[in-house]
C-alpha cells in the first residue's frame, strides 16, 4: 500500500505514516485530556475528543512481552509489545535481536521500508547502540 492509497482508506493515520516515511516517529495525543495513544485514531480512546494532534515521540521504549521464532540459519524473528516512554504499548517487530533479547530490554525506534511502499516503525535493542 502506498501513502496515496492509505489516504483513501485510513486518513486518521496518514500523518503517522507520512512521519515514518520521513524518518520521524509521531505519536497521536489528545488535545483535551492530554493522553497519547497508538494506533492513531480520529477519536481519543480515553475521552472521545476529536482534538487529536501528532507530535514527535522519543522513539524510546521497553519490551513488555515478546515472542521469538528461531529458524535454522536465519536471523531471529522477534515480535514484541513495547511500552513507549510516552505511555502507549504497541505491537511491533524487534530487528537485529540476539539470543539474549528479553522482557525489560530498552529498545529504540528504527524504520523499515516495505516493498509495497509504506515505511514501518520497528524497534532495535538500545544496548547494541554504539
Q: Which of 111, 54, 64 is nearest to 84 (CA)?
A: 64
Pattern 18-57, Zn ion, x by CB under 5 A: ------------x-xx----------x-xx-x--------
> Measured between alpha carbons, how far is 109 from 59 in angstroms, rounded to an integer?
5
| Closer CB to Zn ion, 33 or 102, in the complex | 33
Size of site (CB under 5 A) for Zn ion? 7
Question: What is the nearest approach in angstroms of Zn ion to the Cβ of residue 35?
Answer: 5
Residue pair 95/66 in contact by the 8 Å Cβ criterion:
no
Residue pair 32/51 in contact by the 8 Å Cβ criterion:
yes
Question: What is the nearest approach in angstroms of Zn ion to the Cβ of residue 33?
Answer: 3
Question: What is the nearest approach in angstroms of Zn ion to the Cβ of residue 51?
Answer: 8
Report the half-sphere exposure of 54 (CA within 13 A, side-chain side). 17
Question: What is the nearest approach in angstroms of Zn ion to the Cβ of residue 50?
Answer: 9
| Closer CB to Zn ion, 90 or 95, in the complex | 90
Q: What does the angle CA 11 – CA 18 – CA 87 come to, to the nearest 5 degrees?
A: 85
For binding to Zn ion (CB under 5 A), which residues are involved? 30, 32-33, 44, 46-47, 49
Amino acid at each position: 500500500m502506498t501513502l496515496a492509497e492509505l489516504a483513501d482508506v485510513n486518513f486518521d493515520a496518514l500523518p503517522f505514516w507520512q512521519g515514518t516515511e520521513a524518518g520521524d516517529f509521531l505519536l497521536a495525543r489528545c488535545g483535551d485530556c492530554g493522553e497519547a495513544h497508538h494506533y492513531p485514531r480520529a477519536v481519543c480512546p480515553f475521552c472521545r475528543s476529536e482534538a487529536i494532534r501528532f507530535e514527535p515521540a522519543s522513539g524510546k521504549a521497553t519490551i513488555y512481552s515478546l515472542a521469538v521464532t528461531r529458524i535454522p540459519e536465519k536471523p531471529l524473528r522477534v515480535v514484541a509489545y513495547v511500552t513507549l516512554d510516552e505511555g502507549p504499548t504497541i505491537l511491533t517487530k524487534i530487528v537485529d535481536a540476539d539470543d539474549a533479547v528479553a522482557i525489560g530490554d530498552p529498545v529504540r525506534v528504527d524504520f523499515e521500508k516495505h516493498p509495497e511502499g509504506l515505511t514501518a516503525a520497528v524497534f532495535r535493542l538500545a544496548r547494541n547502540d554504539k
